[in-house]
């Protein structure tokens, strides 16, 4: 009997933790509202984030929205929505099919990035990019791919 009660308590706690995590958005609701109001053409945000990373800040320029996430080790992931020009796959070293989205990836000595292209609300192409200065040997390329694959229009 005690064992059944212990299992029931663990299941209840697990569901509560999962529900709390699911209820908390990756980018705070107030920030998403600011982005949508100030930059509607580039109002995109990730809905999934690498484990241990939390929202840090956002900034805008006339041509893009940039959202930063950090972890306790000081690593950073930056999610950017900007106008897309040219072929989306240009410059790719690898491609992945993640969450039903075609995602491209490349790296250089300073950073790695994953990206995909979407059609914006105004019908223009928007490029969603997730980048990190961590090399692929420390942070998997598919990790960035999953972040950018989850990018969605802020509603």
CATH number of the structural domain spanning residue 128: 3.30.200.100
Nearest residue to 51 (alpha-carbon basis) of 30, 32, 75, 29: 75
Domain count across the chain: 1
Q: What is the pLDDT along the chain (155 residues), one digit of tens a residue?
A: 554 444 433 334 344 444 444 567 899 999 999 999 999 999 999 999 999 999 999 999 999 999 999 999 999 999 999 999 899 999 999 999 999 999 999 999 889 999 999 999 889 999 999 999 999 999 999 999 999 999 999 99
In whole angstroms, what is the distance from residue 44 CA to residue 152 CA? 5
What domain range is 103 assigned to? 28-153
């Amino acid at each position: 009997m005690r064992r059944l009660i212990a299992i029931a308590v663990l299941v209840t706690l697990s569901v509560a933790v999962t529900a709390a995590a699911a209820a908390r958005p990756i980018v705070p609701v107030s920030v998403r509202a600011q982005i949508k109001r100030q930059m509607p053409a580039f109002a995109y945000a990730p809905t999934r984030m690498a484990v241990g990373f939390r929202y840090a800040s956002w900034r805008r320029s006339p041509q893009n929205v940039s959202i930063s996430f950090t972890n306790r080790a000081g690593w950073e992931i930056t999610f950017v929505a900007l106008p897309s020009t040219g072929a989306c796959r240009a410059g790719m070293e690898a491609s992945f099919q993640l969450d039903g989205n075609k995602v491209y990836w490349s790296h250089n000595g300073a950073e790695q990035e994953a990206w995909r292209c979407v059609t914006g609300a105004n019908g223009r192409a928007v490029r969603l990019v997730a980048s990190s200065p961590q090399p692929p040997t420390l942070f998997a390329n598919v990790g960035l791919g999953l972040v950018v694959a989850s990018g969605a229009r802020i509603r």
